[in-house]
Chains A and B, each alone.
Chain A
Amino acid sequence: MKRTTLLTLAICTLAAALPAQQQSSGNTRTWHDNKGRELVATFRGIKDDNIFLQTTDGNVHRIALANLSAADQAAARTLKIEGLGIPMDPGVAQAAAAIDKLVLARLQKADQHPNALASDEQFIRRVYLDLAGRIPAREETVEFLTDKSDTKRARVIDKLVNSEGFTSRMFNYFGDMLRIADDANKIKYFTYEEWLKKQIAENRPWNVIVREMLSADGNMLQNGATGYLLRDKGMRLDNLSLTLTTFLGANVACAQCHDHPFAEWTQKQFYQMAAFMGATETEMPGGRRMLSGLDRQTAKQARNIMRVNTAMVTDKPDNDMTLPKDYKYEDGKPNEPVKPKLVSWGKEDARTKAYRDATDALRSHKNHEADDRDVFAKWVTSPDNPRFAMTIANRLWKVVFGVGVKEPVTDLDNPDTASNPELLRHLAAEMVRVNFDIRAFMRLLCNTETYQREAVTREIAMGEPYYFPGPILRRMTAEQAWDSCVTLAIGDKVDAFKLQRGDAYAKVMDLKLTTSSPSEVAERVQTVLSERSQLRGLFAKGANAKPGKRPARMRQMQDTEDNGEADFSKPAVMSGLMLARASELPQPERGEHFLRMFGQSDRQIADSNSDEGSIPQVMMLMNGDAQQVLQNPKSKVLSTALAEQTPDAQIQDLYISFLSRNPKPEELADARSALAGGLSPADLTWVLFNSREFIFVQ
């Protein structure tokens, strides 16, 4: 609390300048000190004989209680804090207030009111799901609900935003966005996955992460960052289209094949952007020839090993991008070579430093087209790129509010069509201000009052813009639902198991092609062929497993016995399910796994996680393996409940575990009579698991 502003003598003037309408009742009121001076401010809580008051400019003031008038001292002791309470960091509190102000202004203009503040029960469940990607374990809920301090909301946000769960949560989000898959193009992407996890875990700035992906060189076995470009190996136009859409919200998907029918993009512009990648190769030149020394049989066996080794990002000296052979517009001819040229969304874009730097660089390395990709990567990720910060800010906003300020998040071509353009621009500026620190940005969003309000309950009419009276009601993502199941099964040690395959895989498979002679490579191939068998079993099969048949490895899996010793080298297993977080399981999971049936993307299409229901999904929720796990008396949730002495205590326990709240009296009575009428606590887990309240986040 070093930076808390202290109350000064300027109070009277400040108070006089405030409009009367803000002197509303409740926690926002006019305060008096013992010298008769006034301050309009919102009560934030009391700590150590100090009162914390927030003025409308967002500043939080710490004032000794003794300095308030006797009447106000008495009043303060009766007030109950609403919402956030005492912030941990006054800078964050002020920045959050600035966001709230923009939201409120837009609501006011539309003659709408913000929702009431969410209860502690609603808040704790929501913030765990949003920041740690799972529901709170029973003890975590109890700890929060019984904590009487006025700083607890801000503290739990700080705890979660710095937790391992946050890494997992964001990896799942980016995994969907970037179509991260263990297997694609007949090569494995383990090192790419682990590289990305590491970036998130180390909290590297988003612009640095993206720049490294776009400008990465070499082979995935040595440089995981190359995985982004190699994901679309041999399909550079598709890759570029995704890059522009995903990172810059440029709606170019149509322009790949023809001028965009509605937006501005022309096919020519698309190819000019593609020309930045015109010198880039995703296959090692002459790589396959390294197998020339092998006999036919070995060469055949070595095909897959070679494939992952020759998948390599390199740059030729020259850009070979041309317009397509069926180009039909007047501004170019079919097959005509294209030079790189940056797009702009408005005249002022060309005046930004990033744009000028890029143009200067292109001019100066005219003869080194190999460097064009770096120029492009720098421009894309620059703080003054007009869309880069805005796109990630809008995406992260959607992660916690359920809907973007601008939808769809892949089209920010015209920010004025956002539901609140001022808010969108402000969020972009905030992203730049925090230096693309994802954790800091998420922390900021969760500290807003807007985030801490109740979810909207009414149906939003078609075409009606959403002004954020609070977050919207969301169905859990597949990963949130699965990770919540795992939490129910094994409790808060859910983050203990970490899948680590990249290093082992790279060590065995790396033929070191760039530094070896063909005979050395041939020798190495023989070693890999013999070592590779040791790797089997290390890589559980995900998406490609045959339907209806469990992979052999799954069939063999026995339930783990709890011998009291934690073994984090492998995950716990129950009912044939590996109880590890979604981020530590195959990417994506096999088709009939809980995750996929609940909507996990198959990682073919960007941003394609689904939140929709279906009959097979409901059958799985009713009768599937995850259900069996929760009904197992060894599961954390059920064993804890069974240890309680009375049915009421068991019911209470299960409500807190599943729904992060106590049952209401009538709910308790219903459950009590159901237990008396022949249902068991295990049946109650089935009921709570299948409730809408469990799978929807309010």
Chain B
Amino acid sequence: MKSDLLSCDPFTRRAFAEHVAKTALGVTIVPHILRGAAAAPAVDNTKLPGFGSAKRVIWMQMEGGMSHIDTLDPKKGETGGPKDPIKTKAGFDLGGFMPRLAAEQADKIAIIRSMTSKTGVHASAQYLMRTAYEQRGTIQHPTLGAWAQQLLGPSHKTLPSSVCINRNPGHGNGFFPAAFSPLPVGNPETGLQFAQFRTTPDVIDKRMALLDKVDAGFRGKFHDTNLKSYTEFYDNTLQLLKGEELKAFDLAAEPADLREKYGKSDLGQGCLLARRLIEHGIRFIEVASGGWDMHTDLDDRMADKGTALDTALAALIGDLSSRGLLESTLIVLCSEFGRTPEVTGDGGRNHYPKVFSVMLAGAGAKRGYIYGASDARGANVADKQSTIQDFHSTIGHLMGMNVDQVVMSPSNRPFTVGDKGSVLTDLLA
């Protein structure tokens, strides 16, 4: 190894400084190095339509592998599955398990039917769908919520910029600071974990007053960034727990008929909670819902999960639309892969990443639109093949992020929103 190049390399120095000084970020935005080459790219993506139209995102991730044929890309014939496709007024068909979406909201959605990937294992495929990067043992990649916090700043003064519902946050922050990790809500019905003080407000005030005195000496002695940020976290947490904003997490404030309309499933109530949270200024909400890994008895299980999805999605689009929020909110529906066209002997379908579908609704996405196509059996991409990277790039673009912007991780490796995918311009309204 020669290379004293390292010693004069600003990124390495920066990475070292991160460890020593515990700087808040540790990542480096490289203003002049855009992806691929030092030269500017041929197209300035930020000039494309819809840039920044999605002020907020509700990301619905169906875990287990949602059958594309039974939901967004229905087929007739031997691969068609248990229910016939439904005609919609938007001119395309939807799966037989999606009657409400088809009847009420088809004219507001855009479907990509030509998605493809190579990953057919749940964990790594879910990781890929959430981050646009292949899972590795050496680095963790951020979700779009964390990217937005890095590139666009926090979405709220005290609340976190991302929340995830029905799941653990994982390493959603990726290589960005831990504070960018989504705030988890394990169960939408019960709201935030540990949000209740186990004593009276009076005692809390007294404890905090004493804590302030106990800690004053220590806080005064050490001038350390991480120590200071802890003090800020305590301040922010107290504001959250004692303030009005905590109500954002309380579904009991919603009228009973609306709660009914979203469906009494984790998905339905999660979507309703997501709507409340975006109204309170949180930018990126993931609503996860498991149970889509239908290797057997697809008919029965779709009747359950499919109906829950149809109910929740139709209610959410309708609700946002009537509140005038759909113009500035992007709803994303995705799953780590599709399911096989063939129905197995056990009445199920197996994992199928070769072709599958995802959906967008709202913000700057076209409405009542189908992008790309699979073949007649739903087995191969027939038109406009799209990758998960393209999907992320398109959403990142709608959120107002330059997908050519290179960010160096603390370990000094270059990353971009959407891992060098293309913005699918035909999808932009």
Contact = CB atoms under 8 A, between A and B. Distances in A.
A516 interface: no
B138 A241 contact: yes
Given A459-B224, A615-B179, A692-B230, 5 more contacts: A262-B12, A413-B3, A612-B226, A623-B197, A678-B203
A143 to B, nearest CB: 25
Interface stretch (A18-26, A144-152, A281-289, A599-607): A599-607
A687 B193 contact: no
B168 A591 contact: yes
A403 interface: yes
Contacts of A692: 215, 218-219, 227, 230-231
A599 B178 contact: yes
Interface in B155-192: 160, 166-171, 177-179, 181, 183-184, 186-187, 190, 192
A75 interface: no
B2 interface: yes
A463 B210 contact: no
Interface in B252-272: none
Given A403-B20, A473-B227, A683-B203, A674 B411 contact: no
Given A403-B19, A611-B226, A691-B215, A463 B137 contact: no
Contact of A407 (B2, B16, B23, B215): B16
A11 interface: no
Interface string B213-229: 11101110111111101
A36 interface: no
Nearest to A414: B6
B221 A457 contact: yes
Interface in A400-423: 403-404, 407-408, 410, 413-414, 416-417
Interface stretch (B142-150, B236-244, B348-356): B236-244
B43 interface: no
A619 B17 CA distance: 30
A686 B193 CA distance: 18
Given A413-B6, A475-B226, A254 B413 contact: yes
Interface string A481-520: 0000000000000000000000000000000000000000
Contact of A613 (B167, B202, B211, B233): B233
A624 interface: yes
30 contacts: A241-B138, A262-B3, A264-B1, A264-B3, A407-B19, A408-B15, A408-B411, A413-B3, A414-B3, A459-B21, A462-B23, A463-B13, A465-B16, A473-B224, A547-B168, A548-B193, A549-B186, A591-B169, A604-B140, A619-B195, A623-B194, A623-B196, A667-B213, A667-B217, A671-B214, A674-B209, A678-B206, A679-B206, A690-B211, A692-B231
A232 interface: yes
A431 interface: no
A264 B2 contact: yes
A696 interface: yes
Given A670-B214, A678-B206, A408 B183 contact: no
Interface string A320-357: 00000000000000000000000001100000000000
B139 interface: yes
Contacts of A686: 207
Given A457-B222, A687-B210, A692-B227, A616 B193 contact: yes
B135 to A, nearest CB: 8
Question: B22, B181, B207, B224 — which one has the most chain A CB atoms within 10 A of its CB?
Answer: B224
Contacts of B206: 674, 677-679, 683
Contacts of B192: 619
Interface string A454-485: 01011111111110000011010000000000
Contacts of A617: 233
A567 B189 CA distance: 40
Contacts of B78: none
Contact of B138 (A253, A416, A461, A599): A253
Contacts, number: 243
Contact of B20 (A264, A458, A472): A472
A66 interface: no
Contacts of B1: 263-264, 345-346, 413-414
Contacts of B2: 264
A614 interface: yes
Contacts of A604: 135, 137, 140, 171
A639 B191 CA distance: 34
Interface residues of A, number: 85
B198 interface: yes
Nearest to A610: B178
B4 interface: yes
Contact of A417 (B6, B171, B207): B6
Contacts of B171: 602, 604-605, 608
B9 interface: yes
B137 A262 contact: no
A616 B207 contact: no
Contacts of A690: 207, 211, 234
B137 A232 contact: yes
Interface in A580-627: 591-592, 599, 602, 604-606, 608, 610-620, 622-624, 627
A613 B140 contact: no
B199 to A, nearest CB: 8
A408 B14 CA distance: 11
Contacts of B222: 455, 457, 473, 696, 698
Nearest to B158: A615
A119 to B, nearest CB: 13
Given A615-B240, A670-B210, A622 B197 contact: yes
Interface string A664-698: 10010011001001110001101110111101101
A548 B187 contact: yes
B136 interface: yes
Contacts of A614: 160, 178-179, 181, 233
B411 to A, nearest CB: 7
B184 A547 contact: yes
A26 to B, nearest CB: 23
Given A264-B2, A599-B178, A619-B241, A547 B21 contact: no
Interface in A423-451: none
Contacts of A417: 4, 6-7, 12
Interface in B99-137: 135-137
A137 B11 CA distance: 43
Given A417-B6, A463-B16, A253 B139 contact: yes
Contacts of A608: 140, 171
Contacts of A696: 218, 222, 224, 227
B38 interface: no
B42 interface: no
Interface in A632-691: 664, 667, 670-671, 674, 677-679, 683-684, 686-688, 690-691
A547 B170 CA distance: 11
Interface string A244-258: 010000000110000
Interface in B365-418: 410-413
A691 B218 contact: yes
A624 B198 CA distance: 9
A670 B213 contact: yes
A622 B241 CA distance: 11
A225 B224 CA distance: 41
Contacts of B187: 547-549
Nearest to B166: A547
Nearest to A601: B171
A664 B214 CA distance: 10
A663 B401 CA distance: 52
B407 to A, nearest CB: 15
A464 B22 CA distance: 12
B182 to A, nearest CB: 9
A462 B19 contact: no
B266 to A, nearest CB: 9
Given A263-B1, A417-B6, A679-B203, A616 B226 contact: no
